Amino acid sequence: MTDQSATMSILKDYILVEFLPGEDPGHLTPSTPLVSTGILDSLAMLKLVAFIEREFDIPVNAHEVDEEHLNTLQSICALVASKRSLVR
Amino acid sequence: MDFAWSDEQMQLREAVKSFARDELNVGLKERDKRGEFSRDGWLKCAKFGIHGLPVPADYGGMGADPLTTVGVLENLGYGCRDNGLVFSINAHMWTVEVPLLDFGSEPQKRKYLPDLCNGTLIGGNAMTEPGSGSDAYSLRTTAERRGSRYVLNGSKTFVSNGNVADLIVVYATLDRSAGSNGICGFLVEKNYPGFRVGRPLEKMGLRTSPMAELFFDDCEVPAENRLGREGAGQSLFMHSMNWERACILSNAVGAMQRLLDISIRYARDRKQFGQSIGKFQLVGSKIVDMKMRVDQAQAALYRTAWLSAKGRNVYLEAALAKLTISENWIRCAEDAIQIHGGYGYMVESEVERELRDALGSRLYSGTSEIQRVLVASMLGL
């Protein structure tokens, strides 16, 4: 499993358990909108950011806690990847 | 965790304590009665460097780290009995300076931060509306882009510093159908056409901190005064609230210590039934409870600031600190009145004002109930 797909899997599992309990995992695709559809509200975004920081040991900046960076699994993975490249 | 203060930090803490005690308390009883803001105290604090504590020196501030900042504010709160003045400074720092610092463009920072730090400009934050309090993102004030300007329409209430502010961070929606993702922040100067200050709002406590309603009737804001990108209002506000929760009650920890010290002094001096009332265990246990609450509040404050300095988000810790300090501040003020008996209930003693000032802390920057919701959620519930 590549870094990217492992990250996607970890994030998908977390979002399904925390914010979409009982949802068919097949319905959560890399491009499913999360923020604009209200799956992630403001509180959920804070929880997700706290999880990302803890799980991947990376800091997330204030201006990144928004729709642009957190709206899809794809964009979240891209955020994580960009942070990891800075840490390395 | 290491909360040991360096010599330099210790000197700063002591300096601010004596500055505040000597310079900021004159005429407070009368100002509290009249609900009067001390511009003189505001400027003295700015000159001391308080307003610019978290702002880098490049923009006119002190560039202090979070732990130093809360330590200084804690000691300001110990020396300065004018909790309203310190509240106004907090509103200015955490809801205007910090969002500007972290979301502002370079020209915006250069234009506003130096004067916010030196006290020339007073900052305010306008989020709450008559119909949106805890449900902040349901706001109805609108913003519409028209050429090189945004036009704002709507009203705000409970705006701290509202009637003395020169620069206000105003939240408005560009697209109500987008919900919280349509919100945007704007830097509004008091002289912009269409901006109007409404009636001042009289409060139970923190009476020396002005509060007002604000109205925006086709208020024209230059496009370059948008704070952050379009739709970034939610992250801007979350960031601002997080700092506020973490730091706004730093001075309350100092105020609690002050209440503890005067209560110990009174319990030793006041004689009843032939001995100091502090010798009675029921009085002594209240003092012990006060000490316990001060220590809890201080630990929550320092821990949050220390973690923040490590560069991580402190959503959970900030909400817990806000909750712990506000609830403990109120209990401390109640105990101080009870220990002082009838004298504590008298305006002259200046103890009753502390309770009035403390009570608002359960409401602003998110009620205690909202902090509990946030903490429960962050704990996975």
For A46, which residue in chain B has the nearest alpha carbon? B315
| Interface touch A42/B137, C-beta < 8 Å | yes
Which residues of chain B have a CB within 8 Å of the CB of A64? 235
What domains can you pick out in chain B, each with its CATH number? 7-122 (1.10.540.10), 124-231 (2.40.110.10), 234-379 (1.20.140.10)
C-alpha of B195 from chain center: 24
Which site among A42, A45, A56, A72 would you substitute to test the B interface, given the most B Cβ atoms closer than 10 Å to its Cβ?
A42
> Hey, of A35, A51, A67, A68, which one would you mutate to test binding to chain B, going by the most B CBs within 10 A of its CB?
A67
More confident call, B136 vs B286: B286
Min distance A77 CA to chain B CA atoms (Å): 19
Nearest-angstrom CA–CA distance, B198 and B216: 10
ipTM of the complex: 0.87
Q: How far is Cα A53 from Cα B113, in angstroms, rounded to an integer?
A: 30
Residue type for position B295: D
Q: Are B83 and B251 in contact (CB under 8 A)?
A: yes
- Per-residue pLDDT of B219-274, as tens digits, reads 999 999 999 999 999 999 999 999 999 999 999 999 999 999 999 999 999 999 99
* Contact yes or no for A45 and B380 at CB 8 A: no
| pLDDT confidence bin for B311, thresholds 50/70/90 | confident
What pLDDT shows up at residue A1? 61
Alpha-carbon distance B218 to nearest alpha carbon in chain A (angstroms): 28
A67–B181: do the CB atoms touch at under 8 Å? yes
Which residue from A minimizes the CA distance to B311? Answer: A59
- H-state helical runs in chain B: 7-23, 28-34, 39-48, 66-79, 83-92, 98-103, 106-117, 233-247, 250-269, 281-309, 315-345, 352-359, 368-378
Q: Which of B244, B317, B334, B354 is catalytic?
A: B244
Chain B interface, best mutation among A14, A15, A40, A47, by max B CB count within 10 A: A47
| Domain covering A3-20+27-87 assigned CATH 3.30.450.40 in the classification | no
**pLDDT score for A2:** 73
Surface-to-core class of residue B11, CB atoms within 10 Å of its CB (0-12 exposed, 13-18 middle, 19+ buried): exposed
Count A/B contacts: CB-CB distance under 8 Å.
Answer: 60
Residues of A with CB under 8 A from a CB of B: 18, 35-36, 38, 41-43, 45-47, 49-50, 53, 59-68
Q: What is the pLDDT of residues B17-62, one digit of tens each?
A: 999 999 999 999 999 999 999 999 999 999 999 999 999 999 999 9
What would the mean pLDDT of B355-378 be, rounded to a whole number?
96
B189 is catalytic: no
Q: Where are the domains of chain A?
A: 3-20+27-87
CB nearest to A66's CB, from B235, B313, B373: B235
Q: Angle, to 10 degrees, between the axis of helix A42-56 and the axis of helix B315-345?
A: 120
